[in-house]
Chains A and B, each alone.
Chain A
Amino acid sequence: MNIFKINKPKQGHRRFVFLSFLFLLFVGSANLEAQNRKITLSVEKVSLRQLFNAIEKQTDYKFSYRDLILDDLKDVSVNVESKGISQVLDQVLPAKNLQYKMQGTNINIIRKATTATLGNLITVKGNVVDATGQALIGVGVLQKGSSNNGSVTDMDGNFSLTIPSGATIKLTYIGYLSEEVVANDGKLLKIKLTEDSQKLDEVVVIGYGTVQRKSVVGAVDQISAKKIEDRPVSNLTQALQGVSANLTIQQTSMNPNDNKLNINIRGVSTMNNNDPLIVIDGLVTSLGSLSQLNPSDVENISVLKDAGSAAIYGSRSSNGVILVTTKKGKLNTKPVVRMNSLVGIQSPNVLYKPVSGYENAILKNIAANNTGNPLPYSPAQIQDLQKNGANSKWFLDDILQNALQQNYNLSISGGSQNSTYMVSAGYVNQRSNFVSGNNPSYGMERYNFRTNLVNTLGLFKLTTIMSYNRNESNSPNADTGNLMADGGRIPNYYYYKQKAANGHYLINDVLSQFTPLGSLEAAGSNKYDTDYLNGSMNAEMKITKGLTAKAMVGLDLNANHRATRSLQIPYYASEDATTPSIYQNIGGKTSDWNQKEYTINTQFLLDYDRTFNGSHHVSGLLGVSNESYSRYSNEIWMNYVDANLGIPTSETALAGNIGGKTTPMNTTLSDIASMFGRLSYSYKDKYYGEVSFRYDGSSKFASNNRWGFFPSLSAGWRISGESFMDSYRTNVGDLKFRGSYGILGNQNINDYNFLTTYQNYDNQYSFNGTTVSGTGFTLGNPIITWEQSANLNVGFDATFFSNKLYASFDYFNKVTSGILLYPVNPSVLGTAAGMENSGEMQNRGWELTIGYRAKTGDFNHNISFNLADSKNKVLAFTGNELIHSGDSKSDIIRVGAPFASYFGYKTDGYFKSYEDVQNSALPVGEDASQLAPGDVKYVDVNHDGVIDTKDRQILGNAFPRFTFGATYELEWKGFDLNMLIQGVGERTMFLRGELIEPFHANYSYTMYQHQMDFWTPTNTNARWPRLALSGSTSDANNYGFSSETQLLNAAYIRLKNIAIGYTIPKRFTSRFGVQKLHVSVNAQNLLTLSPLTFYDPESTEFTNNMGGPKGAGANSGRSYPTLKYIGFGLDLEF
């Protein structure tokens, strides 16, 4: 029954295209498996068309018969009770000389095939499976060169086709790469089709709906589960690094307790929060929630980059939207049990290393000698240090250790006729690389539970999603930056120890307050837990053909709790001291902080989707939504508490010193009400047009400025669908142009900014020994309203070599105006004025995505590559310029320049001679007699003979440009290799502090190996200026200003992830009931190439808005070390 022939059109390539087109139609919804639903039907003398309509009413099935003209004879009668559809069709179709093909719920009615009459014929039989061995149903099988001799595979993946002996058959299947096989007689062909990563019929999730890949007219990137699931990362956001063009993820800290990540789509376009909008299963949520999700629960992630696709989220979409869809079960499938685990070791990789102790002493003497200071170390002391060098230990090595990371997941999914389920549980345990001593081990654990249910009841479909996630972490009661700095800058002198043999913690003349080891082992810890509940109920009801009503209510709830115990630690001045000389955390402290945060989202939508005359596809959407956000928190702390229990004690006069904040002091409520809609039209999959809008009201603005309207328009043209492109389509591939323009909004600012408020502060002043309250005020501005960004996007999608190569390119130009800023007013105003819609910024860029699949022998290669750039420019800013300086670092916001650029003095090498010092412009006030050859020479930009603030220039920018990611997947006979390379082509990083300045400000006591390339009379071409003691004019000259000396090139390319795995052949595992058993070795951050070798080029001091108008603090290079991971993975499927 599977054999059919197509009589027209005539030309071979046309036939192939035609066939493909048919299959495109077959696959209406890739989520639904073919099925044979039971029908009860009784009709007398109706036309075929009427019969089909009757069946469509009762079931999900959709009939198509576009290449036929059905007769309207009312000669069909059916009377069945609970019969399969095939039985019904088999009963009525043969009489009309018709047959059917079923794909999912689509039933295509076609002419009954007539047998070919060719000579020397053989019958080829075969079985088609996918990479996992699953039978593929409905694969097109066609004799190559013939226009009409073809077949499709049946429910078990089998086909048979009669062809001339030695002919080639071609197998085509939507979503898979086509395959050609030379047919030989008698032998059962076993054919494995490889999935096509760039499938045109892929269902792409967009705002409030889905669309097929080929119909996408916006800049939408969809990331499949495969790209995410096997990576040994502790959260989903990390897994998104490098997989999508212009989706920039910067991990500012690898500390499991403080996993700070910047996530950015298409660069910086507002001076406020640049976080994208996060939507999980249709519910708007927060960036934090994204990191709480279990990566293996994710079905796919869509990144909406342009206005065309994002405008439906209107008010908050100007930074792009990330849509996460979680996995669901499939109808009529047996339960599939999947288990996977990843266990590995994370080792801290500190890139800077101190010089040895005696070398350091010599270097310090050189520095002192250079600046005319007495030599701090005598020859005897240096000899002593050298002699005892073996007994020294770098403090950082005392506090860092290798740590275990474990990920386990279990999921069960499946479905019956009317319902599907997906239940999963996950567990992550990532230990910290800080030692913990007496404290409970540092690190984080996360538990994930999820139940996704879909039930169909007649016209209704009910989707219920429940996910509960618990995060528990225990972190040091100390700042990571301090731990790293204090641990790193102690010289390798044998007499510096953090702990005596008797367990006493030691201070010394350079770490005189506390030590990192003491802080980590005995200072107490922060226990932090989060209960995150994400649930929704989504009801859909079919109203008439094509029209569906949907209602959803969802809850996103975060309950956070932090309990801190701060313990008093005695420090001793020497190993044999009996009385402590200083205490850390005097009196101890206990504190509790609780926060509950929840968003209730209600939505109601009308969704329309229909194709008329087979060529006019119309879809529309109209909806209303409300999001109500509430946050309540409270805190209590108690000082001078019992050392063991942390309870009040009467041992000290200050016992019960209590403070905190109550719920009314810490409440935030906000609300957004919205109306939105979309109308899209396409003609014959050639021309596409779409308009969408959103109308939002936000409680963050006063009532008369509350509402914003955000429209967008997009269009697409599949030029390869035109008849004049027939030969292109056959010989090259698909080509589509698309463009969009729209206005998006942003309101990501704090609440209540439109009101002038008065804040009460306790203990602000005192009279006669009694404290009194003080009140401060914050000015509001009642006229603030939405930021708006006008967004243009043009791009194309193209495929080549029968879809083996896929390329997509987008260019965007985004102008954000009315950026909400605290205006920079002169200080004489006496306070910060309220926010204003005053900034304007342009952000332009492009992104290129290339995918390639190839097969060489038994090797399957899959390569994908993305490269992107974005560049911004401030167009308007009150005051036109704002410089922010912190320590010796400055950044600037200046009209015409990229936002938050590094700012300071350009350097012109080092002074070559004393004459050079005398003849050069010097920083204002500096005494030439105090400088020497080897000190930094600055460029006198305005030639006024002195280096002053007027000579400052823009030096660089920290936002990464030319970001790229590449994945390579290789399969060979059950073996697989997976690699992710990720990097940044251009970026500068400004560092100050001990990693740059030797003996930094008297706080750093050691030099590092990377600082050894300093200027000497024989090394004039050095990276660093001559050594000078802190406090000297030379030191102030060389490191006291924001200058190029401290500027580093932080471009890098990193082998982010590599995994090698093997799937044990099914024939061995199936006897144990195991469908799949896959083992792998994984590694992360194995290799990094960068001009910056002593500090992680990926780290940044900036947050999502580059520090914003307030500027970012000094970058001291004290972040948690980069981690290398090596581990094992195991996947099991039953």
Chain B
Amino acid sequence: MKQKLRKYYIGVVSIILLFLTACNDLNQVPTGEFTDDTYWYSTAKASYVLNMAYSQMMGDGYFFANEALSDNLFVTRTSDEKLISSGIANAATGRFANEWSDCYGGIRTCNTFLENVDRVPDMDVTLKARMKAESRFIRASLFFRLTNWYGAVPLFSKNLTATESKVIGRTSHAEVLNFVRTELDSAILALPATYTKADIGRITSGAATALKARTFLYENDWANVVAETQKIIDSKTYSLFPDYAGLFSIANENNPEVILDMEYVPTLRTWSEYFDYSPPSAGRRVNQQSPTQELVDNYMTLNGDSIQQAGSGYDEAKPYVNRDPRLAVTVLFDGGLWRMPDGTDLTIKIKPGSGTVDEYKSGSGNNSLSGYYMKKYYDPTFTGSYSSGLNLILIRYADILLMYAEAKNELGVMNQTIWDQTIKPIRLRAGFTDVNATDFKASWTQSDLRKIIRNERRSELALEGTRIFDIRRWKTAETVLNTYPHGAKFSESAIDNGYIRLDKRSFNPNRDYLFAVPQAQKDLDPNLGQNPGY
């Protein structure tokens, strides 16, 4: 009997041994990811975190959607931007939550980089200083974005803990701006003016100065705008690219006009918004947003007069001839050309009765409801479904010149010299030849010039994401965003002289100069409070 039992025990033991050996261990770590213990060991890996921050600095979606918040574009389909411009956004609107969390997401990446990069052994000291400065620039630019949209926002320079994140209050707009400028100052010192080869596209000291100039511009702090833009002009690092249309083509990326951009590479890192912006015959998906008649009307005639001016040469029957050459670069209108990837140019017939797929149809279909299509930044070298590798420029030299001119005028010191330094080269580059369009007139009052400079800014920078900030700082948003936008003169109705009347916009000056603090954020952190009117 005992003998028998012993036999059983052997069996039992061998089975238990089998049980113990035939399995994965209880201690498992991922094979495809690093852990905090294994990550910060090389310069390359640290630089990947910085690269992530670059990708979070701004996005192509916001780049184009911001323009849709302004009077330059009409949004065809339901979107947060449509809700905002219709005045029916509330604290729960997605855009308010996303802008907030995307910015703080990028800030987290910057802080994580700054807090850990010193753990990397044997890292080149100069390189480390530069990368820290790049990181601080990105963080500053994100706080700048936040404070532009929301006013006072939580400000911090170290990663928060979960507990801290639930009680942090908002820092005033002025203090946030102060932080941004201080950070930019230190970045300016640590960053090079230019890069070579593989580093081209990184943040330069010029970019930091330009962003700093913008921080003053949005506050109408003209003296400081002059001071900062003057530095950029004097540095002679930047110049206007000779060809306005070429400025937005893949062949001329990183040209001397570009101060800061978002960099893309065909097929590998792309954006594809034009899939929903292009005309039907070019093989697009739907129409998401399209230029307004108001934008089109902003472009001068070739002699430099506004179309309303007597003697401008504007003919309502042939509205697109004899116009500022930048119009055709920016907006696709009836009879305009559209370059296809194979190099052919399609003539796009939008006017009703043309019988093409591009023909405007009232209130239906996937065609533009304004009778215009966007064109600037359309990249004919796209692959697949409008995947483009074209860089999107965030700050360019023409903007600096326009800022400089505007500030000088607001300070009351605009003159021929400054004109010849700023507006004139911009107009010449745009293709104007008529001296009436290019030359300074001593008869202009400050107010005349203000109008000229603002219109110039709109025409030059249209569809580049700056318009919404301009009309907000000019406080004209409450006017231009509080009315019916229009499309081309394609309507059979007598309303508005046959210009298509589009959905009414609404802008409440007591509320809409600031985004709402996202409802969910406010619920999670009672110290945040809310902006007026939400």
Contacts and interface: CB of A to CB of B under 8 A. Distances in A.
Interface stretch (B216-224, B225-233, B360-368, B466-474): B360-368
Interface string B8-50: 1001100110111011111111111111100100000101110
Contact of A773 (B33, B48, B108): B48
Nearest to B55: A765
A630 B97 CA distance: 39
A581 B51 contact: no
Interface of B: 8, 11-12, 15-16, 18-20, 22-36, 39, 45, 47-49, 51-52, 54-55, 76-78, 82-83, 86-92, 94, 97, 100-101, 104-109, 111-112, 154, 156, 159-160, 162, 165-166, 168, 197-202, 253-254, 263-265, 267-269, 280-281, 283-286, 357, 361-367, 369, 383-385, 491-493, 503-504, 506, 508, 518-521, 523-525
Contact of A628 (B22, B54, B361): B22
Instruction: Give the secondary structure class of B's interface.
Output: loop
A769 to B, nearest CB: 6
A219 B259 CA distance: 71
B361 A669 contact: no
A209 interface: no
Contacts of B108: 829-831
Contact of A925 (B88, B154, B520): B88
Interface stretch (A23-31, A182-190, A1032-1040, A1072-1080): A1032-1040
A765 B52 contact: yes
A262 B57 CA distance: 41
Contact of B30 (A751, A883, A926): A751
A609 interface: no
A511 B197 CA distance: 45
B109 A765 contact: no
B277 to A, nearest CB: 13
Contacts of A630: 24
Given A766-B265, A831-B105, A925-B86, A697 B26 contact: yes
Contact of A671 (B23, B34, B263): B23
B32 A664 contact: yes
B251 to A, nearest CB: 11
A254 B48 CA distance: 44
A760 B35 contact: no
Given A764-B51, A829-B108, A602 B18 contact: yes
A443 B156 CA distance: 56
A757 B366 contact: no
A441 interface: no
Contact of A885 (B92, B162, B264): B92
Nearest to A884: B520
Contacts of A581: 281, 283, 357
17 contacts: A549-B8, A573-B357, A581-B283, A602-B22, A665-B32, A667-B30, A752-B29, A757-B36, A764-B52, A765-B52, A765-B54, A768-B199, A830-B106, A830-B160, A883-B519, A927-B506, A1031-B76
A703 interface: yes
Contacts of B86: 925, 1033, 1036
Interface string A1013-1036: 000000000000000011111001
A829 B284 CA distance: 39
Contacts of A831: 105, 108
A604 B12 CA distance: 8
Nearest to A543: B8
A923 interface: yes
Nearest to B519: A949
Contact of B493 (A374, A586, A890): A374
Contacts of B518: 827
A801 interface: no
Contacts of B49: 774-775, 777
A1105 B26 CA distance: 27
A830 B159 contact: yes
A376 B361 contact: yes
Nearest to A580: B283
A769 B201 CA distance: 9
B94 A885 contact: yes
Q: Which 6 A-B pairs have CB atoms at the shortest separation, nearest pair first? A: A830-B108, A582-B283, A628-B23, A827-B101, A774-B52, A925-B87
Contact of A772 (B20, B51, B280): B51
B26 A763 contact: no
A770 B20 CA distance: 50
A564 B402 CA distance: 53
Contacts of B87: 925-927
B386 to A, nearest CB: 10
Interface string A765-801: 1111111111111100000000000000000000000
Given A586-B384, A587-B384, A1001 B78 contact: yes
B104 A827 contact: yes
A885 B521 CA distance: 14
B519 to A, nearest CB: 5
Contacts of B281: 573, 581
A758 interface: yes
Contacts of B284: 512-513, 582
Contacts of B54: 765, 774
A509 B201 contact: no
B52 A776 contact: yes
Interface in A672-722: 673, 697-699, 703, 706
B503 A768 contact: no
Contacts of A543: 8
Contacts of B154: 828
Contacts of A923: 88, 90
Contact of B504 (A667, A879, A930): A930
A671 B33 contact: no
Contacts of A768: 197-201, 254, 263
A731 interface: no
Contacts of A882: 520
B28 A1036 contact: no
Nearest to A577: B357
Given A766-B268, A885-B94, A949-B90, A666 B363 contact: no
Given A628-B22, A1030-B77, 8 more contacts: A509-B365, A509-B366, A751-B30, A755-B29, A761-B52, A771-B269, A828-B521, A1002-B76
B263 A669 contact: no
Contacts of B83: 1036, 1040
Contact of A828 (B91, B104, B264): B104
Contacts of B88: 923-926, 1033, 1036, 1040
A1068 interface: no
Given A827-B101, A949-B90, A757 B33 contact: yes
A926 to B, nearest CB: 6
Nearest to A661: B32
A583 interface: yes
Contacts of B156: 828
B518 to A, nearest CB: 7
A1002 B365 CA distance: 7
Contacts of A667: 30-32
Interface string A356-372: 00000000100010000
Contacts of A725: none
A604 B22 contact: no
Contacts of B36: 755-758
B351 to A, nearest CB: 15
A590 to B, nearest CB: 15
A136 B413 CA distance: 114
Nearest to B196: A768
B48 A774 contact: yes
Contact of B18 (A509, A553, A671, A1040): A553
B10 to A, nearest CB: 12
Nearest to A997: B78
A1107 interface: no
A54 interface: no
Contacts of A1005: 364-365
A760 B76 contact: no
Nearest to B30: A752
